Structure 1
Amino acid sequence: MKLDAYLERIGHTAPLGVNLETLNALHAAHLHAIPFENLEVMLQRPLSQDAQAAYEKIVIRRRGGWCYEMNALFGWVLGQIGFDVQRVSAGVRRSARGDEMLGNHLCLMVRLDRDYLVDVGFGGRQVGAIPLSHETTGHPPFQMALADLGDGFWRLHEGGPNAAHSYDFQPFVCDEAALKERFEHQCTYPDSVFRKHLSVSRREGRDLVRMRGLLMERMKPGRLERHVITSPDELLETLLLGFGLDEPDMVQLWPELVERHKALFPHW
């Protein structure tokens, strides 16, 4: 694993330092260069959550990844630079379904002058480090906030503490067994949302460009643009030109993608 190869992958050429400026610059560059994606999960290919495997996939093969891969790699990068960084096991939608969700998300904590939540694997929503406080921070087109739940957990949320886009975590706490269990569940179980629905996203300037099923969206500050992908050829073209993902095997999933899209978006 080579730090220089990762920096080339994300296009970062500025000097490196153990400071907030470098942390935020790397965070933003990662999200603009590397898409969040679950193609390998949908194609039922073997996956690993270790940093070496993530490096080979994302840096060498120039693919994207999901939280377990993106934050495993980014955590390794930060450690190589000299940051005090810790893996953290989190639970997306713990607000609705309780502790059974813990381990279904991997994020990071970094200690500088303050403690910061760092996450390049939450679908591109968070464009920089978020201080561990009750401040609301702008990540256009989103406003992200943290709430201390009073039970040792904090909640990252968008649009209120009970919003669908939220996850809970204990700062600097990582249950590796829970991460392993939920990773395997989300990779292999038929009811896993990552097995059922295509999810790809990437930052482009202040916009978030994403695919949910066959619905292509560009989320801008104050505006949402939508377009439905209508053919296998358009699917492959969108993945390649929009996200840099060359994956012709996705054509095999076209009938399933159409049916799942109809179920997820009956009016689109």
Structure 2
Amino acid sequence: MTLDLDAYLKRIAYDGPLDADVETLNALHEAHINAVPFENLDVHAGRPVTFSLEDAYDEIVTRAQGGWCFEMNAVFGWALSEIGFDVMRIGAGVRRASLGDEALGNHLALIVRLDRDYLVDVGFGSSQLTAIALEEGVTSHSPLRMALARTEDGYWRLHEGGPGAVMSYDFRAEPANEAQMAASHAWQCTDPNSIFYKTLSAKIRRGSHYFILRGRMLETQMPGRSEQRILDSPVELSEVLSEIFGLEEPELERLWPKICARHKQLFPHASRQSGG
């Protein structure tokens, strides 16, 4: 397969400068997460998903679908390298703070080296808006904040939501253990205990709005407020996937009982209110 940089740039609707500098990096980062949804439809539906740049490119660029961290950051890192950026793939551990070292390798992120090192990540649920300098501090990614801190055992920890937020991942600024990530990728795709296997997810930014879909629950985060909506049928879910995320899922009727059962686990109070 031929990977075409121009086709990727068209996919993310980017026609700006292609200089290897922080301004271009941030512009590309923001364009990607506003155009390409984070999603796990193939994993949730039980369709085969490979640990392959070519297949990720095919899904995201050729078929105009979305992807998760192993796909999103693989394609973004490739594109940055083609433009001339110095890119390093890093393996991270989402929720290592609570799960321990067994979490390492369950997430792919990137380090880009310019005047300093930057954490680049279009695959953490589209929550990070632009590159983050690799230094302790808090950055705004409206409507979210990100906090980068050091751990006692020498890792970096990125908190999604500001200092001390529970959702976080740990990493070192060193090349990824590709075998470790491939093993974690396989587990997350197929194990019934994997959050990606259990819960249909999609996330995307649209300007200042951040849309988060977890099964039947659609949350819209905006500066200073958020809204929630429970989806009541496969048809309604299909409309949301199409209209907000630009996605199609052909097996929603088959998946609907699984989606409803998971909704009751995640949102028991909301389920009782809705009668679901």
For the aligned pair, the TM-score class normalised by the smaller chain equals over 0.9
SS at match of 2:93: strand
For residues 124 and 160 of structure 1, the distance between their equivalents in structure 2, rounded to whole angstroms, comes to 16
Alpha-carbon displacement from aligned partner over 1:15-62 (angstroms, at most 9, x marks no partner): 210000110011000000000000000111111122111110100001
Residue type of the partner of 1:157? H
Shift in Å at residue 97 of structure 1? 1.1
Who is 1:134 aligned against?
A: 136
Give the conservation status (yes or no) of the 8 Å contact 1:49–1:72.
no
Q: What TM-score results when the alignment is normalised by the length of structure 2?
A: 0.95
Who is 2:109 aligned against?
A: 107
Give the conservation status (yes or no) of the 8 Å contact 2:145–2:162.
no
For residues 235 and 222 of structure 1, the distance between their equivalents in structure 2, rounded to whole angstroms, comes to 26
Shift in Å at residue 172 of structure 1? 2.6
Who is 2:249 aligned against?
A: 247
Asked if 1:35 is matched to 2:47, the reply is no
Extract unaligned runs of 5+ from structure 1: none
Give the conservation status (yes or no) of the 8 Å contact 1:236–1:251.
no
For residues 202 and 90 of structure 1, the distance between their equivalents in structure 2, rounded to whole angstroms, comes to 21
Give the conservation status (yes or no) of the 8 Å contact 2:138–2:163.
no
Residue type of the partner of 1:197? T
Calculate the aligned-residue CA RMSD, in Å: 1.0
> Out of 72, 75, 94, which is 2:74 matched to?
72
Q: What TM-score results when the alignment is normalised by the length of structure 1?
A: 0.98
Who is 2:273 aligned against?
A: none
> Out of 91, 94, 104, which is 1:89 matched to?
91
Runs of 4+ residues deviating >2 angstroms: 158-164
Alpha-carbon displacement from aligned partner over 1:177-216 (angstroms, at most 9, x marks no partner): 1101110000000110101011100001012111012100
Who is 1:18 aligned against?
A: 20
Who is 1:125 aligned against?
A: 127
Alpha-carbon displacement from aligned partner over 1:104-162 (angstroms, at most 9, x marks no partner): 00000000001000000000110000000012110011110111114331000034554
SS at match of 2:43: helix
For residues 85 and 263 of structure 1, the distance between their equivalents in structure 2, rounded to whole angstroms, comes to 40
Who is 1:267 aligned against?
A: 269
Who is 2:274 aligned against?
A: none
